[in-house]
Structure 1
Amino acid sequence: MLDYFSDIFRNKQKSYKMVLILSLIDEYEENHNLIFPLNKIAERFLAYYRHQSSTGNSADAPPQREASNWNDYTLAQTRTLLKTPIDALSSILEFNNDQQTITFKSSIMDQLDDNVIQELKEYALNELDSYNNQLISNELGAAFSLQDTLSEILNTYLDAKIQAFANHPLGVLLRQTIPEQLRKLPFIDDNYKIQGSIGQGNWANIPWIAVMDKRITDKIQRGEYIVYLFSEDMKRVYLTLLQGVTIPLKELGKKEGYRYLEQKVTEMRGLLPLEGMQKDDNIYLTTSGLGRDYQVSTVAYVRYDQGSIPDDDQLLADLENVMNNYKLYVDSLAHEPVEENEPTFEYEEIEPLDPLTVSPRVEQIKAYIEQRGFHYPKGLIENLYLSLKTKPFVILAGVSGTGKTKLVELFAEALDATESNDQYTLIPVRPDWSDPSDLLGYKDLSGAFRPGRLAKVLVKASQPENQHKSYFICLDEMNLARVEYYFSDLLSIIETQKWNNHRIVTSSLINRDSLSSGDQPIYGDLFLPDNVYLIGTVNMDETTHPFSKKVLDRANTIEFNYINLQQYPSDPRSEQQGVVVADNQFLRSEYLKLVDVYQDYSDLVHKTTEGLVKINNILEEIHAQVGFRIRDSICFYMVYNQRFQLLTEDEAFDLQLLQKILPRVQGSSLSVKRVLLKLMQGALGKNLAVNDLMDDASGLYQKWSSGEGDEEAKHSQTARKIAFMLRRLEEDGFTSYWLS
């Protein structure tokens, strides 16, 4: 039996898995029960690390974003943290979210007895001792070979890319081990920032390790620095002196950006000796466009081929030589004035979003909402988060009384955005709204500008001291008036988003020339900042107006009509979940154009697009095809989901079909019915006799009415919705996403 467990600790970024197993066994030895309450296990788990810390023994530190030591770490944080090792041990463990318990899988449980449990305990203890001893060795500065390390990356990276990304040992190697060892080199001092990466949430095609002089840059997207770049095919690694390409190309455009980079290369090659380095554009990293970008931006390089990496003495001599050239360049900048026509890129420091922190924070939001007595369908909070991350405009649709408005309030409150701190604003929509003045404001008879409630929020959110805060605006019952009339300016402005000073900005909302000189400084440059999130709630009945495709294209429409009334408040005596500590980086969009994600997620983009092409071929019959805007939005949603691991890929695509595709389908013709049946065929993942069902599809949708259809569908939520739309079409002669 022990052979079965021999692989469960093979990948160890931290000691959490071993300590979790030991906590389970200790609980069993005390109570002789193989159903473990999460709270009890969290107490044992936390007690272990607190004991290690208090006795001075070596142990992993807690996540630094949440606490500096284990004594400051709370039991609630520990319960959230345990999700990581529980998921990592999913081959042997199961977690019951409703009962908050952990058990061994039934296939394991059948083979467990006291002898096997004792063997597992000894195995976990040995692995934990070995791990902690390695920590001590690392702290004492164990021998490090740059040759062995570079060879290991080249030899194992392609195999690693087909394995799970989270907590992979190569990530530890590039992000932690190599930077820590390079900082010990005598020619690298505190002026330098050293950073490595295998990607953000997904394997990068080109991993890297950069050395940046903090006096001129601290990000690889801009400035000049030293970086080891591994080719996509892992046949070679380049030690390079180059320039960051992302920001210059984004600010100047491809043509002018290349010209700027080429001028800098010529200037630096003329300034520096660069002995022992290649000075050409023959660096080859990948077949994609980024390879060309690096060719243009590379000043000089040293190439190392797989299988013939030099020894450590040569590698360190090469690195010191490149460092000496880099130091000469940085020193030269201190004596040269900046040319007036030379572009400068100034950016406020923004902490990058760590993908590994997203899932625990979403769980905290869910716990916060549930502890306040509100329950929402499974996956809804994850969906709302991903939708807001994709684009800051979301529509919540559903029957009256399902808690749409309360969801917005509680979601915001969980992120410490409330009415009392002016970060949450409820704006009830009136039926007589017919233009944007009700939201943005108007000029009175005296010529003074009277700002609307939305304008007041935007002014506050745009202030520099508030840019790290998230602001939520709930447009309650937003379709009581025609959305296209009063919301048209906002719909258009959302499409003007662009990067400026490392932030997302839009065109101005209010015509500056129409304002008085006193109002111009406040409202003249008012735009939609990247820390404002617009969420509309809608009821679809005879008192409301339908949405146009202009609105639907620009929003994720989340519908929840399936209500389980047999949900009850949590025990008020249980430990309460506090607000989630997260700045606006947690919610803010990171991608505006498909090119922003294409390099790192090209496979996912292609797969998603191919699915949409098939759907477009179906929608073409009723002229309801989607365009590039929806294609990009769905790709962004899928990328965020893959990075943060909130839903399965099928679940995420299912929701996007439901929210971005089906709202476009309506009508009474046979063509509409044929389209729905073909879409149902794709959602089920199997062929249907479409021609036979054109006369009578009742057998198809009756299965969903009785709750028998979910298990057999690839995209169950989409299939359920289509079934109800088909029923409406056959019973009423007309169907729509909103009438089902």
Structure 2
Amino acid sequence: MTLPIELSNIFKNKQKSYKMILIKAILDVMKGSDNREVPFTQVKEQFLKILRDREAGQLKVDSPPAKMASSWREITSVQLQHIINTPIEVLSAVLEYNKEQQTIGFNSNIYNQLNDEVIDELYSYAEQELENYYNQMDSSFSLHDALHSVMSSYLDAKKESFGGHPLGNLLRQVIPNGLKELSFIGDNLKVQGSVGQGNWANIPWIAIMDKRITGTTQHGEYIVYLFAEDMSSVYLTLAQGVTVPKNDMGKVQAYQYLRNKVTDIRKLISLDGMVQDDQINLTSGGLGQDYQVSTVAYYRYEADQLPDDEQLIADLNKVFEYYNQYVDITLHMAEVIKPKEVEDMDPMTTKERLDTIKQFINRNGFHYPDYLIENFYLSLKTKPFVILAGVSGTGKTKLVKLFAEAFGATNENGQFNLIPVRPDWSDPSDLLGYKDLSGNFRPGQLTEVLVDAMKPINRDKPYFICLDEMNLARVEHYFSDLLSILETQEWQGDRIVTSTLIHAKSLSSEDDQMIYGNIYLPDNVYIIGTVNMDETTHPFSKKVLDRANTLEFNYINLGQYPDMELVSKSIDSAQPTPNSFLRSDYLQLIDVYKENSELVKRNTELLVKINGILENIHSHVGFRIRDAVCFYMIYNERSDLLSEDIAFDMQLLQKILPRIQGSSMSVKRALLCLMEIALGTSLKISELADDASNLYKPSILEGAKYPQTARKLVFMIRRLEEDGFTSFWLS
């Protein structure tokens, strides 16, 4: 074929014969003319002549619109203008119609590609597609009659024997075969009808599936006619399979997955003219709810107002156009994402990967305390929100940057973003964005990162956001939305999603709705806050502390120097690491309890003992912290990173002690009781309550079961005795 690509598919979708006849008419008038544009009056005359000649020769031809005339001989010039406007508009990508000068022709780009060979081929193409269209019209199959037959006889048929019933043949054979004759139903489509298996179904259906994305109605997306249980109506829908998601995820999680998919598809493709809500009403039973949550869009036809074949086929063609758009996008996305499946299989063990990260950091001239990198990794794996606390200048921000770069996440590729917090931040708009006075949405830095991270091509890349000096402003004020969203994490297929951060309905323009509407916190985004505790900063509430691991940087060894042997070596370029290495594997304790019940019980028993101490000062913890500690311990044991005691020591220091502050004797007793647990020995609490100076000796930490926790407790007890007040956050 020598046709320009712009002309090669102009008849792909046909609702009537008008497009083919218009092209033939223009080419007929163009013969013998060197002008790009020809008189529109002559084209209209030729357009009408072709239709009248077929009618006079008793050949198959589209009837004039019923309200205009019964014959093409009766069509007036005004009526003809109305009819021909439609194909002109549909073909506007290749045609130019000058209303003022009353001329029409191919646009300059197409005209420059036309020669005798191309014109002949285009004419033959129009004639062939016209005959295909008329052959389709000659088919004895009537979609209107078939649908009407089902709705008028199905309820009676259900009272009769199922096997061999003619209505079963109509739905399984006759209708699918008739639909396959339609010009837009290609070989890649599977057409299937069902009245049930062994027994009459309450809701019979006829589905059209693109075999490239699904071959069954149990999962995936497809077009389907769904008959109401009482046969009062039939729905032509773009829908999703429900059975497999329900079996894989359970009903509640599957419904949420399907609802989210409906939202995604509605944003992805145009569905103009179709109803987009969840009011599809097929049955009063449970199956009706399945269809409500899984239907993307639909047309509803009442049994007593069923449209004619022309309208039914036009509607089906339109739905097929939308479906085809979705299939094309899905296949393209699958092709782009396919290499990521290989990347997701990390060839390194967790230990090996962390060793390469530590080497990368060391070769950049930085060194951090033993187990810090393992601890940082486990903390992010447990929850994608971590706080790095300590005195200024200890390398907190640098740790985040180097850790991210070791994953291949840099400022240049947008996977590492440093966001300095300002003291005047007072609400989430500083991070997420706001609408200006003209109603336009001004996205915040965090929103821009989330939009990029949510793109299908990026979903397996980790994104790191460093909120530098996070507590210069009150965290609960500007970070409140994120804190709440963190608690809405749930599985959607193989991804972890959250509730929506910015609702599309809250945005004014369609562009803003398309870009920023309904964004959420994806599972490849990790937020790390750095904090300094001094008189210029704000304290953290328990709401914040419950949701984060707090890593402390207060113990500094100034006598530590760079290892020049390591630094002198060339710095290996970081290799991109799949997001699965960092992403949480579990969201609920029940997901891992069966396989890790002994570990969970051991750590929970310790937490119960600790909670008994904390209750006396109203600082006890809930299930959120219990689960987070257990996840941390499970990830650690699975990867064999730290001993169980060292790992639990980290969790006491990071999840329990940050909650404690006060000046009362009850706070002191609680600290002393925790000291007993940290040291692993009994203490004379009553004596130490008056004077705990014996705990200040360095030797007290020798042989401690949880030395990091014990060390911090000594500091907190001493501050309480000397200053009359103590807190984890005092430096």
TM-score, length of structure 2 as denominator length: 0.54
User: What is the rounded CA distance, in whole Å, between the counterparts of 1:692 and 1:249 in structure 2?
Assistant: 59
Q: Do the aligned residues in 2 keep the contact of 1:355 with 1:644 (CA within 8 Å)?
A: no
> Structure 2 matches for 1:697-712, cutoff 5 A?
697-700=692-695, 702-704=696-698, 708-712=699-703
Q: CA deviation at 1:398?
A: 0.6
Confirm or deny that 1:250 pairs with 2:241: no
Q: What displacement does 1:518 show?
A: 2.4
2:531 maps to which of 519, 522, 538: 538
What's the Cα RMSD here? 2.6
Tell me which residue corresponds to 1:600. Answer: 595
Partner Cα separation in structure 1 for residue 597 and residue 345 of structure 2: 21
Equivalent positions of 1:660-699 (< 5 A) are 660-699=655-694
Report how far residue 216 of structure 1 moved. 12
* Post-superposition CA distance 1:512-567 (Å, at most 9, x none): 22102221111111000000000000000000000000000000000011111222
Q: Secondary structure at the match of 2:681?
A: coil
Contact 1:371 1:569 in 2 (8 A): no
Alpha carbons 2:358, 2:373 under 8 Å: kept: yes
Question: Within the alignment, does 1:718 sit opposite 2:712 as a pair?
Answer: no
Distance in 1, Cα, partners of 2:492 & 2:469: 34
Match of 2:396 in 1: 404
Alignment partners' CA distance in 2, 1:397 and 1:474: 13
The aligned counterpart of 2:511 is 518
Task: Report the secondary structure of 1:519's partner residue.
Answer: helix
Match status 1:574 vs 2:573: no
- Output one character per residue of 1:577-605: Cα deviation in whole Å (capped at 9) or x when no partner: 43144211111111100011112111111
Q: 1:548 to 1:253 in 2, by over 3 A?
A: same
Match of 2:405 in 1: 413
In structure 2, distance between residues paired with 1:569 and 1:709? 31
Distance 1:724 1:353, change over 3 A: farther
SS state at 2:719 partner: helix
In structure 1, the partner of 2:606 is: 611
Looking at structure 2, the residues matched to 524 and 477 of structure 1 have their Cα atoms a distance apart, in angstroms, of 29
* Distance apart, 1:679 and its partner CA: 0.3
Number of the residue aligned with 1:738: 729
CA shift, 1:249, in A, is: 5.7
Shift of 1:699: 1.0
2: CA distance, partners of 1:563 / 1:476:
20
Aligned to 1:459: 451
Asked whether 1:621 is paired with 2:621, we answer no
Are residues 1:497 and 2:509 paired?
no
- 2:552 paired with 1:559: yes
Please report the TM-score for the alignment, with normalisation by the length of structure 1.
Answer: 0.53
Q: 1:523 to 1:581 in 2, by over 3 A?
A: closer
Alpha-carbon shift at residue 500 of structure 1 (Å): 0.5
Deviates further, 517-526 or 620-629: 517-526
> What is aligned with 2:414?
422
Q: Is contact 2:668-2:720 (8 Å) kept? A: yes
Contact 1:396 / 1:558 at 8 angstroms: preserved in 2?
yes
Equivalent position of 1:630 in the other structure: 625
Encode CA deviations 1:328-368: one digit per residue, 9 max, x unaligned. Answer: xxxxxxxxxxxxxxxxxx99985776696110110110111
Distance in 2 (CA, whole Å) between partners of 1:640 and 1:247 is 28
Equivalent pair of 2:253/2:491 in contact (CA under 8 Å)? no
Equivalent residue letter for 2:722: E
Q: How has the CA–CA distance of structure 1 residues 250 and 625 changed in structure 2, closer, same or farther, with 3 Å as cutoff?
A: farther
- One-letter code of the match for 1:437? S
Q: Is the 8 A contact 2:363 2:568 kept in 1?
A: no
> AA paired with 2:671?
L
The alpha-carbon distance between structure 1 residues 674 and 355, as it changes in their structure 2 partners (threshold 3 A), is: farther
1:249, 1:501 → 2: CA distance? Answer: 9
The aligned residue for residue 234 of structure 1 is none
- Distance between the aligned counterparts of 1:254 and 1:539, measured in 2? 41
How do residues 17-28 of structure 1 correspond to structure 2 at under 5 angstroms? none
How far off its partner does 1:712 sit?
1.5
Per-residue CA distance 1:72-99 (angstroms, 9 max, x = gap): xxxxxxxxxxxxxxxxxxxxxxxxxxxx
Answer yes or no: is the 8 Å Cα contact 1:369–1:411 preserved in 2. Answer: yes
Please list, as runs of the form range in 1=range in 2, the aligned pairs for 1:423-502 lying within 5 A after superposition: 423-502=415-494
What SS class does the counterpart of residue 402 from structure 2 fall into? helix
Partner of 2:649: 654
The amino acid of 1:657's aligned partner reads: L
Conserved? CA contact 1:709–1:720, under 8 Å:
no
Specify the SS of the correspondent of 2:491: strand
Select 2:578's aligned residue among 579, 583, 594.
583
Question: Which 5+ residue runs of structure 1 have no aligned equivalent?
Answer: 1-214, 224-243, 258-345
The one of 498, 502, 524 equivalent to 1:506 is 498
TM superposition shift of 1:510: 1.1
Give % identity.
66
One-letter amino acid of the counterpart of residue 468, structure 1: D
Task: Report the 3-state secondary structure (helix = DSSP H, G, I; strand = E; otherwise coil) of the residue aligned with 2:591.
Answer: helix
* CA shift for structure 1 position 254: 9.7
- Matched residue of 1:518: which SS? helix
CA contact (8 A) 1:355 1:643 kept: no
Output one character per residue of 1:38-90: Cα deviation in whole Å (capped at 9) or x when no partner: xxxxxxxxxxxxxxxxxxxxxxxxxxxxxxxxxxxxxxxxxxxxxxxxxxxxx
- The separation in 2 between residues aligned to 1:355 and 1:739, in whole angstroms, is 43
SS in 1 for 2:539: coil
CA drift at 1:575: 4.9
CA distance in structure 1 between the aligned counterparts of 2:253 and 2:419, rounded to whole angstroms: 42
Return closer, same or farther for 1:355/1:703 CA change in 2, 3 Å cut-off. Answer: farther
When residues 254 and 537 of structure 1 are mapped into structure 2, their CA distance, relative to the original with a 3 A threshold, is closer
Question: Structure 2 vs 1, CA of residues 355 and 394 (structure 1 numbering), >3 Å: closer, same or farther?
Answer: farther
* Alpha carbons 2:425, 2:473 under 8 Å: kept: yes
- The alpha-carbon distance between structure 1 residues 382 and 720, as it changes in their structure 2 partners (threshold 3 A), is same
SS of alignment partner, residue 620 of structure 2: coil
How far apart, in 2, do the equivalents of 1:490 and 1:645 lie? Answer: 32
Query: Does the CA-based 8 Å contact 1:427-1:475 persist in structure 2?
Result: yes
Secondary structure at 1:376 match in 2: coil
What amino acid maps onto 2:560 in structure 1?
Answer: Q
Q: Alpha-carbon deviation of 1:724?
A: 0.2
Rg larger for: 2
**Residues 1:739 and 1:377: Cα distance change in structure 2 (over 3 Å):** same
Contact preservation (8 Å) 1:594, 1:632: yes
For this pair of structures, how many residues does the alignment match?
Answer: 410
Contact 1:478 1:538 survives alignment (8 Å):
yes
Does structure 1 conserve the Cα–Cα contact (< 8 Å) formed by 2:469 and 2:531? yes
What is the CA–CA distance in structure 2 between the aligned matches of 1:577 and 1:246, rounded to whole Å? Answer: 43
Moved more, 608-617 or 480-489: 608-617
The separation in 2 between residues aligned to 1:667 and 1:560, in whole angstroms, is 22
Matches within 5 A, 1:283-302: none
How far does the alpha carbon of each residue in 1:6-37 deviate from its partner, in whole angstroms, 9 at most, with x for none? xxxxxxxxxxxxxxxxxxxxxxxxxxxxxxxx
Q: 1:216 to 1:471 in 2, by over 3 A?
A: closer
Structure 1 residue 684: deviation in Å? Answer: 0.5
Deviations 1:421-474 (A, max 9, x none): 111000000000000000000000100000000000000000000011110000
- Cα deviation per residue 1:275-316 (whole Å; 9 max; x = unaligned)? xxxxxxxxxxxxxxxxxxxxxxxxxxxxxxxxxxxxxxxxxx
In 2, Cα distance between equivalents of 1:429 and 1:439: 9
Quote the residue 1:112 is aligned against. Answer: none
SS in 2 for 1:378: coil
The answer on whether the counterparts of 1:364 and 1:580 sit within 8 Å (CA) in structure 2 is no
- The CA distance in 2 between the partners of 1:479 and 1:693, in whole Å, is 35
CA distance in 2, matches of 1:688, 1:486: 44
**Alignment-mate amino acid for residue 372 of structure 2:** L
Cα deviation for residue 738 of structure 1 reads 0.5
Contact 1:353–1:586 at 8 Å: present in 2 too?
no
